[in-house]
Amino acid sequence: MITLTTYEWVPDFAAPLMRALRVRWALEEAGLPYKVRTLALGPEQRSPEHLARQPFAQAPAIEEDGLTLFESGAIVLHIAERSEVLLPKDPAGRARSLAWLFAALNSVETSLQELTVIDLFHAKEAWTAERRPQVEAFVRDRLAMLEAALGEKDYLEGRFSVGDLMMADVLRIPGHTDILDAYPRLKGYKERCEARPAFRRALAAQLEGFGVAA
């Protein structure tokens, strides 16, 4: 059975966004059982035991049958390889699904994360007056291109895959803003993904775990 290592507690604003959710969601979509190991923020993150799981002292990480794996994208891909729900069997469909997974992490998440870090951690600092409009303009350009690629489809390649799982989770990052309101098809796409039973189970489990720790 897979053991997922995640934090035992994070601040309320971070609880629904912590990247272990991607792993939980993938596990739920794939129908794979798992158990959870919790990690305290602080010195425990840099313990030799945890650094053996995650060399950058972060979470999530997983362990299964002698395999230890870190980085949410790598973990989700590892899980997806075991589920046709997440990865189509045909080579072209598989390749396209993986392209969207990597696009979510590389072409979309980085700018959304920068915008969120500015808003949540540096909003009162002088340098943000110049930097934030630049980041927001870049974000809006990327979201417009993503919405154009989605078009009228329910999912990026017509059917749900691991690429949609990752993209939808990335689109949740700027939830403190109304930025998605300008892209109604994209907003509907995110909400469609969030309505999946596997997502709802994963989010409930994550929030319940943090609530118990609090």
Task: Give the residue from 86, 76, 139 showing the smallest Cα distance to 109.
Answer: 139
Task: Domain count for the chain, please give it.
Answer: 2
Res. 214 pLDDT band, cuts 50 70 90: very low
| Side chain identity, residue 200 | R
- Helices 128-150/109-121 angle, 10° precision: 140
Instruction: Verify that 49 and 105 share a domain, yes or no.
Output: no
Largest CA distance in the chain: 52
- Residues 148-154 have a mean pLDDT of 98
State the residue for tokens 């945890």.
Answer: 50
CATH number at residue 162: 1.20.1050.10
Full domain range(s) for residue 22: 2-85+198-213
**Residues 202 and 191 reside in one and the same domain:** no
- Sign, Cα dihedral of 207, 24, 193, 103: positive
pTM: 0.95
Q: Same domain for 188 and 95?
A: yes
**CATH code where residue 47 lies:** 3.40.30.10
Same domain, 99 and 135: yes
C-alpha to C-alpha distance for 176 and 196, rounded to whole angstroms: 22
Whether residue 55 sits in one domain with residue 150? no
Residues 67 and 43 in one domain: yes
Contact status, residue 106 vs residue 100, Cβ threshold 8 Å: no
Considering the domain architecture, whether residues 54 and 73 belong to the same structural domain is answered as yes
| Same domain? 108 vs 167 | yes
Question: pLDDT tens across 69-121, in order?
Answer: 999 999 999 999 999 999 999 999 999 999 999 999 999 999 999 999 999 99
Question: Are 110 and 189 in the same domain?
Answer: yes
| Average pLDDT estimate for 130-142 | 97
Between the alpha carbon of residue 76 and those of residues 22, 24, 61, 63, 151, the distances in Å are 7, 9, 11, 13, 25
Provide the b/e sequence for 27-64 (b: ≥16 CB within 10 Å).
Answer: bbbbeeebebbbbeeeeebeeeebeebbeeebbbbbbe
Q: What is the mean pLDDT of residues 129-148?
A: 97
Residues 116 and 184 in one domain: yes
- Please check whether residues 172 and 95 belong to one and the same domain: yes
Residues 141 and 162 in one domain: yes
